[in-house]
Structure 1
């Protein structure tokens, strides 16, 4: 008999049923064999439940499956929605490649989610201004296109950082300037202007003998 992970009552019962059925469907076993084979995939709480079933109470594997799911349904994994996808944020120091991979894995676990929702969720959290510029300059027509372009950009970006590490520092400094508040930016500009004027004044070589001393 094909092997399947043992069920101990602590995980999703539907997932276990799906895995068991997928392995057994090709062999066309009858109900008796399926029920006995199912017992061999149980341990702990799962086996205790099976052994507690009244004698001659099960007539088919479908009935056994229903009883199994009903008993362990509290362990069913909650269904993920678009809210789960929107909550996927890029972590500090997480590369774009890693973030995109994590986002895509989460999106694949959500049933019946539209391409538009996935695109909105992803675009709403992209922090790289260069990538955003590329996206908004030529808006993608589908989530697949968006992921393809974002992944190509991320791969190229990481390759450049490996070749030219200082370019990454430059980008980081640029992002810090963009993220600064207007007051901080204006204060910095004022300081730079003052420093510029001071440097210009310092360059002037005054000849004080050309001026008439003021006497009062």
Structure 2
């Protein structure tokens, strides 16, 4: 008896594919319109079109207004989170980044100190933080 390698049926491939996804890829998959994919080839092509070359949808700059320092979150952790989110935003200039960074801070004292001696760039802000 000879065992040949066979491609699993499309149904199995399509059903198992989402179990391999995390983060942005999982979010992309969950937002696919119902019944928009008929087979695994379509699914894989849609995935490649969306993600190949690092091309993923950028968020609008007002997304940064949703980044808030949590109650027990350290300033270091907030800075890391904020800078990571700025990479997801399309064309936010330093003024927008400075404003949204300050808006998300929980320490009013730090905000006041930044207002008294305002940094000119996001790099200066992050150094002060």
TM-score, normalised relative to structure 2: 0.57
Larger Rg: 1
**CA distance 1:99–1:74, change in 2 (3 Å):** same
Unpaired segments ≥5 residues, structure 2: 1-16, 27-38, 51-55
CA distance in 1, matches of 2:123, 2:113: 16
What number of residue pairs does the alignment pair up?
Answer: 90
1:118 matches 2:97: yes
Picking from 39, 46, 51, the partner of 1:72 is: 46
Unpaired segments ≥5 residues, structure 1: 1-7, 13-43, 50-67, 151-216
Where does residue 82 of structure 1 map in the other structure?
Answer: 61
CA distance in 2, matches of 1:122, 1:113: 12
Displacement over 3 Å in runs of 4+: 8-12, 73-78
The equivalences for 1:121-132 within 5 A come to 121-132=100-111
CA distance in 2, matches of 1:75, 1:138: 46
1:94 matches 2:73: yes
* Higher relative contact order (CA closer than 8 Å, sequence separation 6+): 2
TM-score, normalised relative to structure 1: 0.36
